[in-house]
Chains A and B, each alone.
Chain A
């Protein structure tokens, strides 16, 4: 029987903030894509379809008790791992990267669900693992293996952005669980040679180039440096009050690349200025703190870990995307949740919100 408390406890604030951000996103996509000669359905309309689909999924996810996820976590982890291996063996290659499995009617990108699945896996792993004084180096071996296998597989595709994201999400959860200072120090000490080795053997030339260009965009102002230069000009020329809706010269003259997807925030920053950015940033910060609040209020460890994981996922997307468009981080192709154009990102983020809502409305169930 449906428990009435579920409806009474529904987290309208969370949903409201998310819907507010998506609304800004759609308006922004409308402006960002207005300089394109569009054929067929316009981007903003397609984005609306994705939002509706995402919301549907979000509500479905929050209607089922999240404790079910605990039972499925390892199975899902195994299944997505198999898909990741399958991608490397028989994936579809586009522009030099093999990230998709062609299912005929659409292309599936298994690294995307891995973001959610790693959260569930870690939540499940640590929910039954009492930690009192922080994880020791020895105790870290198993979780790091759980993370390492998918991370390396994703890196192989190559999809550096997603590999980093998955690692950051898992890393945040580890920090939440607690890691001993001694273990942290050892990891950092080991990280230095690892980075050197990764740079030498794992990173592709174009990825290295992006990092060089991030450090000095003027090296290749037409190539990968172009993104950063044009994006910084767009953001900065928005000044305090912005150039006005659909008045951004950088975007309307199409100086900005991928302006409705990864660089959507630059368009917003140019047109709405510092005040607009402040508003969006506040909304995102509120969302993150609210997510952490859900984790805090949750009565069981699994739910709490899940909430931290989902919040971390949203947080790192926001931090990396914004950092990228304002020249704080290299360009790694990470979308801004609820804001950038794109179905995959919208669906993943909405599923995440569904999980948060789920935990939030069931906090009184014990």
Chain B
């Protein structure tokens, strides 16, 4: 007997059924073939007509970008409608003539239209190409009246950016611009079309994927010459997601006002979360100028301004941190056991090292100086000596522990990392060995040391919270158009400094003295209601023997100030740099003071504006070392 599994199909009619299945398959293929015959032979003429006329045409409708809000939901950037002119190349009979007409009607440069036209090469010929954006209502009406001479031209409504607060936070928010040829060819902008607007800088660029909505479209019926017959169907565009920043609009305003006309940057950060509360780069620009056509004179003005309004100084400005860096040197000394809070030195106003003389900012000298006094009065000699004993590599070790010298990943493109020099670094960078005389200016934040305002804010924040390096970030959450939270950004710990608690205690006491004690250099940031601690700095721009009076603006020292408050339970850290502001105590500290005041007023801690009592300014300038070996400081 056969085993069961060897029963042949024939046994139960398998062979017959194979024939049945084969016939079934043949029938299906015959059906498919008949249908193909019907379409390709019988209906071919009609369908060829349809394909040649391409009667159904897709007109894209740009999606409004998502709004950008401050941490409390106040609008920073929204949208407003604008009109643009698009051309469907396929429907244009005489390209040259059309370009001439458009140039004349719209009062545009001919080459400008041509350039835009050429951008669309390689795309489907029926796809609309935007040749002019932001046209006026009069221009639009004029085009409508002359439609007959403009076959292939369509007027499209596109939402454009509305900057509710003008140039406020312009560097942070960024601006939009037309997607470039290179961008179109990159993976990131694969889905974009020529004429689309994308974020070119700031949040607009970094969060492009979230802010850019999904374009919708209209299916229109056109005749063979491309003239519009009717709208067949429409799919709505879907608005981009709303990006809620960590910035506080009121604090941002206060910080911008505090900096005023001065060039520089101010960054305020939440000490416990890393959220950036204010992010100022001054001078700013009007992002609205970038939407549509920028008047050439405005562009020229931006480019020629020696204060570089288009540069994001808070993110990309690399400055010698000056005496604010003494915090790091002091920490290194304490941690390495080279000093304690009682260690004293004698400051006679200068310090001789080999053939070079390193001067203290106070030429008369500070006398006997201990740690607290060294910070309070920003004695340079104390730090020259300490730096000499530490050596550059040990200073760098602590600077790096605080996140200095590398980008912190704030979430904007092209964040700079600054420079924390080491012996290796110099060898690699310049191919030369490190001279010990170069270590002394490093101790006071000069020489090769470069940091960004964001890094300084992070550094002082880490001092304030005693050792937790939080990633400074700008986006609090992303919400979709239905109000659903897509992403919520929790504090992110980048690392711990791992220092002894006593180190922080001693340094923080020094920083408190800077602001609150007699002879402290940061008195102008003092608030009576809240204890502020901070450190001033000024950093040399160019080595000048005589920096008194008559120094041209671009050669004056930069003024810096870093601070945190309240001293007992820190909440906010601030870093301010005033380019060519000369003295941290007189130029940068008052700015920080105003920012801190605005913050605590906002929280209701400071009830009403109290007339500010500024203690007598004691300092005359600080941190200007003149060693023979000092490299030129960079701006």
Contact = CB atoms under 8 A, between A and B. Distances in A.
B17 to A, nearest CB: 5
A83 interface: no
A222 to B, nearest CB: 4
B233 interface: yes
Interface string A211-251: 00000000011110010011011111111100000000110
B51 A319 contact: no
B39 A232 contact: yes
Contact of A233 (B8, B47, B124): B47
B219 A222 contact: yes
A309 B614 CA distance: 91
Given A39-B190, A223-B235, A253-B126, A237 B50 contact: yes
A132 B9 CA distance: 10
B9 A295 contact: yes
A90 interface: no
Nearest to A277: B36
B388 to A, nearest CB: 53
A199 to B, nearest CB: 25
A296 B18 contact: yes
Contacts of A230: 56
Interface stretch (B22-30, B79-87, B95-103): B22-30
A35 B11 CA distance: 55
A176 B54 contact: no
A128 B41 contact: no
B186 to A, nearest CB: 8
A10 interface: no
Interface residues of B, number: 56
Interface in B319-359: none
A255 interface: yes
A169 to B, nearest CB: 12
B187 A237 contact: no
B39 A253 contact: no
A269 B36 contact: yes
Contacts of B124: 35, 252-254
A292 B22 contact: yes
Interface in B112-130: 122, 124-126
B233 A292 contact: no
Interface string A296-324: 10111110100010001001000100110
Contacts of A178: 12-13, 17
A132 B43 contact: no
Contact of A301 (B8, B40, B190): B8
Contacts of A193: none
A175 B17 contact: yes
Nearest to A40: B187
A323 B32 contact: yes
Interface in A175-197: 175-178
Contacts of A299: 6, 8
Of A236, A237, A304, chain B has the most CB atoms within 10 Å of the CB of: A236
B5 A39 contact: no
A230 B47 CA distance: 10
B185 interface: yes
Given A39-B185, A232-B39, A250 B51 contact: yes
A255 B40 CA distance: 18
A304 B29 CA distance: 23
B12 A132 contact: yes
B7 interface: yes
Nearest to A298: B9
A68 B257 CA distance: 80
B57 to A, nearest CB: 9
B220 to A, nearest CB: 10
Contact of B32 (A127, A131, A281): A281
Contacts of B44: 236-240
Nearest to A39: B187
Contacts of A175: 17, 20-21
| Most-contacted residue by chain A among B7, B21, B29, B32 (CB, 10 A) | B21
A301 B12 CA distance: 10
| A contact residues, range | 35 or more
Given A300-B5, A304-B14, A289 B54 contact: no
Contacts of B7: 130, 301
A328 interface: yes
B41 A274 contact: yes
Given A221-B233, A319-B28, A239 B48 contact: yes
Nearest to B235: A222
Identify which of B4, B6, B22, B37 gathers the most chain A CB atoms within 10 Å of its CB.
B22
Contact of A284 (B29, B39, B184): B29
A221 B505 CA distance: 72
Given A175-B17, A249-B52, A253-B126, A236 B8 contact: no
Contact of A37 (B52, B190, B218): B190
Nearest to A70: B5
B46 interface: yes
A253 B54 contact: yes
A14 interface: no
Contacts of B495: none
A175 B126 CA distance: 50
Interface string A57-77: 000000000000010000000
A101 interface: no
Nearest to A133: B12
B25 A292 contact: yes
Nearest to A302: B5
A330 B625 CA distance: 81
B601 interface: no
A131 to B, nearest CB: 5
A154 interface: no
B40 A239 contact: yes
B125 A253 contact: yes
B367 interface: no
B22 A289 contact: yes
A233 B50 contact: yes
A232 B190 contact: no
B6 A301 contact: yes
Contacts of A233: 47, 50-51
B502 interface: no
Contacts of B234: 222
A325 to B, nearest CB: 10
Interface in B174-191: 184-187, 190
B118 to A, nearest CB: 16
Contact of B39 (A223, A302, A312, A326): A326
A167 interface: no
B219 A221 contact: yes
A130 B12 contact: yes
A27 B145 CA distance: 49
Contacts of A261: none
A93 B232 CA distance: 33
Interface string A280-296: 01001100110011011
A292 B29 contact: no
A270 to B, nearest CB: 8
9 contacts: A70-B5, A172-B21, A176-B17, A229-B56, A249-B52, A253-B54, A269-B40, A298-B9, A299-B8
* Shortest 6 CB-CB contacts between residues of A and residues of B: A236-B47, A237-B51, A222-B233, A222-B219, A236-B39, A239-B44
Interface of A: 35, 37, 39-40, 70, 127-132, 172, 175-178, 220-223, 226, 229-230, 232-240, 249-250, 252-255, 269-270, 273-274, 277-278, 281, 284-285, 288-289, 292-293, 295-296, 298-302, 304, 308, 312, 315, 319, 322-323, 326-328, 366
Given A221-B56, A237-B52, A277-B40, 7 more contacts: A178-B17, A236-B46, A238-B44, A277-B33, A281-B29, A285-B25, A312-B21
